[in-house]
Amino acid sequence: MQPLFLYNTLTRKKEEFKALNPPFVGMYVCGPTVYSDVHLGNCRTFMSFDIIYRYLTHLGYKVRYVRNITDAGHLESDADVGEDKISKKAKLQQLEPMEIVQTYTVDFHNVMKQFNALPPSIEPTATGHILEQQEITEAIIKKGLAYEVNGTVYFDVEKFAKDHNYTALTGRKLEELLENTRDLDGQGDKRGRLDFALWIKAKPEHLMQWSSQWGKGFPGWHIECSAMSTKYLGEQFDIHGGGMDLQPTHHTNEIAQNIAYCGKQPCNYWMHTNMLTVEGQKMSKSLGNSFLPHELFSGNHPKLNRGYSPMCVRFFMMQTHYRSTLDFSNEALQASEKGFERLMESYKTLQSLTASTSSSEDIKALEAKCYEAMNDDFNTPVLIANLFEAVRIINSSNDKKTTLTQADIDLLKKMYQNFLFDVMGLKLEDENNKTTEVLGKVVEMVLDIRNKAKADKNFALSDEVRNKLAAAGVEVKDGKEGSTWKI
């Protein structure tokens, strides 16, 4: 097996991957907070780890992939103030918090399935591991690195930092962090401004709360990942991942918790994916610039010209390396769609190629280049470039300009199966996706005609089109930025 190199965020170096206990690999990835639909940015991170999971499995590792569901303890602000996101939504909608959790967990699973992402081996929830979180909190208090004030338990960052490098993951200076962090006003009873909550006292009106030795409360966000990764992967495992926005707070605090708890850095390799951006800005729920997967599939979004299939979107994401930012645009999606279709067409052509007795191509060398790309920190754009070389070879052989032996054709088939389908997780479009895509295009076309009618001041026709669409089950809403529709 060729060595696999991956970029370790902790050491800021590309390192050779060595499993702690081969052939087993433990991989933990921070999952979604299930208080609203996952947006395309979240999907990018989960799809990147899906490819890492698939490639490690392809190499023969037995991967235990743990991806949690955050269903409690994620407050609106990282400074331990504000409400729990799920409880807040439950109150607004007059639902049980677990109804919110169920709705968005199901949505998340559906979206992952549409993108053909494999389910993790274990998907534990924060609410299912309250005891484990309490145990770790208690152990950290015993070690003298956490303290309780009025029913809330805080991690003592400055005390921890006396003997450990608290900012190892980001390389930031502790003094600068202290300078740049707001004063303690409004931050509860913390002793130090960098201290963070392991357990939070619940106000009586707080919907999700559990009994503890510190009174009724709920866990802090970071402790859930320490508890669940340790429980299912041990005190030290191979890979820990998440989006790079989690580095400075969530993962920095997770490392501190684990070291305080058991004296060990939780994993050997920290991996972080870069952000999906829109016009250069991180896609995020709070900035209001997020796209939901179903909006992208149907084209029903003011910034989209039309819809794109899940596989085209998956391919679009893989055309950029996971550590680079990826900017979302209609043009980039259209280019990806063309590329994806060319690849899939060539797969069909490959099935009907006729073999010659001699070959004018070196397919083995091309296969080696595909492995080289993936072994170089999962470089999917270079892998794709090599697959396009395979497309050239297939088309040229089909046009009888060059020749391939049966062994070449078989190897090309194996390469498509391994890299395109198994590792990149792409698949031929199914009929349902195609129908949704075509329907989206038709509705957009009808709305274009309606816009022309409006521009000609033919309001009778414009209203007729809207009413007929409504009768067919398509609701159209006119807004400042144009019309949106939903079925």
Tell whether residue 243 is a contact of ligand AMP (CB under 6 A): yes
Tell whether residue 126 is a contact of Zn ion (CB under 5 A): no
| CA–CA distance, 4 with 291 (Å, rounded to integer) | 34
The residue among 225 and 404 lying less far from Zn ion, judged by its C-beta, is 225
Q: Which stretch binds Zn ion (CB under 5 A): 25-33, 142-150, 310-318, 395-403?
A: 25-33
Q: Which stretch binds Zn ion (CB under 5 A): 39-47, 178-186, 220-228, 233-241?
A: 220-228
To the nearest 5 percent, what fractions of the chain are helix, strand and coil? 50, 15, 35
User: Please, what is the minimum distance in Å from the beta carbon of residue 225 to Zn ion?
Assistant: 3
Tell whether residue 30 is a contact of Zn ion (CB under 5 A): yes
Tell whether residue 44 is a contact of ligand AMP (CB under 6 A): yes
| CA–CA distance, 156 with 211 (Å, rounded to integer) | 23
The entry of Zn ion, ligand AMP, none near residue 307 (CB within 5 to 8 angstroms by kind) is none
The residue among 252 and 397 lying less far from Zn ion, judged by its C-beta, is 252
Q: Which residue among 32, 293, 425, 440 contacts ligand AMP (CB under 6 A)?
A: 32
CA distances for 267 relative to 240, 418, 468, angstroms: 6, 28, 58
| CA–CA distance, 222 with 140 (Å, rounded to integer) | 14
The residue among 6 and 228 lying less far from Zn ion, judged by its C-beta, is 228
| CA–CA distance, 187 with 444 (Å, rounded to integer) | 49
Whether residue 75 contacts residue 81, with contact meaning beta carbons closer than 8 Å, is answered with yes
| CA–CA distance, 119 with 115 (Å, rounded to integer) | 11
Residue type at position 191: R
Q: Which residue among 9, 33, 87, 300 contacts ligand AMP (CB under 6 A)?
A: 33
Q: Which of residues 33-92 bind Zn ion (CB under 5 A)?
A: none
Tell whether residue 223 is a contact of Zn ion (CB under 5 A): no
Q: For residue 9, what are its two tokens?
A: 């965020």
CA distance from start to end of the chain: 50
Whether residue 168 contacts residue 180, with contact meaning beta carbons closer than 8 Å, is answered with no
Tell whether residue 242 is a contact of ligand AMP (CB under 6 A): yes
Q: Which of residues 257-276 bind ligand AMP (CB under 6 A)?
A: 273, 275-276
The entry of Zn ion, ligand AMP, none near residue 247 (CB within 5 to 8 angstroms by kind) is none
Please count the other Cβ atoms lying within 10 Å of the Cβ belonging to residue 95. Answer: 15
Whether residue 196 contacts residue 253, with contact meaning beta carbons closer than 8 Å, is answered with yes
Query: What x-and-dash track marks residues 45-64 binding ligand AMP by CB under 6 A?
Result: x-------------------
Kindly tell me the burial class for residue 206, based on how many C-beta atoms sit within 10 Å of its own C-beta (0-12, 13-18, 19 or more): middle
Q: Which stretch binds ligand AMP (CB under 6 A): 40-48, 116-124, 329-337, 431-439?
A: 40-48
Tell whether residue 386 is a contact of ligand AMP (CB under 6 A): no
| CA–CA distance, 304 with 333 (Å, rounded to integer) | 10
The entry of ligand AMP, Zn ion, none near residue 152 (CB within 5 to 8 angstroms by kind) is none
The residue among 135 and 245 lying less far from ligand AMP, judged by its C-beta, is 245
What phi, psi does 361 have (nearest 5°)? -130, 155
CA distances for 197 relative to 75, 126, 140, 166, 254, angstroms: 11, 15, 12, 16, 12
Residue type at position 348: K
User: Please, what is the minimum distance in Å from the beta carbon of residue 67 to ligand AMP?
Assistant: 10
User: Please, what is the minimum distance in Å from the beta carbon of residue 177 to Zn ion?
Assistant: 20
Q: Which residue among 4, 19, 30, 313 contacts ligand AMP (CB under 6 A)?
A: 30
| CA–CA distance, 467 with 458 (Å, rounded to integer) | 15
Tell whether residue 123 is a contact of ligand AMP (CB under 6 A): no
The residue among 169 and 225 lying less far from Zn ion, judged by its C-beta, is 225
Cα 196 to chain centroid, rounded: 25
Whether residue 216 contacts residue 150, with contact meaning beta carbons closer than 8 Å, is answered with no
| CA–CA distance, 145 with 123 (Å, rounded to integer) | 29
Cis before residue 293, ω within 30 degrees of 0?
no
Tell whether residue 294 is a contact of ligand AMP (CB under 6 A): no
Q: Which stretch binds ligand AMP (CB under 6 A): 241-249, 254-262, 442-450, 472-480?
A: 241-249
Tell whether residue 225 is a contact of Zn ion (CB under 5 A): yes
Q: Which stretch binds ligand AMP (CB under 6 A): 25-33, 294-302, 392-400, 446-454?
A: 25-33
Q: Which residue among 181, 265, 284, 289 contacts ligand AMP (CB under 6 A)?
A: 284
The entry of Zn ion, ligand AMP, none near residue 465 (CB within 5 to 8 angstroms by kind) is none
Which positions lie near Zn ion, rule CB under 5 A?
Answer: 30, 225
Applying CB under 6 A, which residues contact ligand AMP?
Answer: 30, 32-33, 41-42, 44-45, 242-243, 245-246, 273, 275-276, 282-284
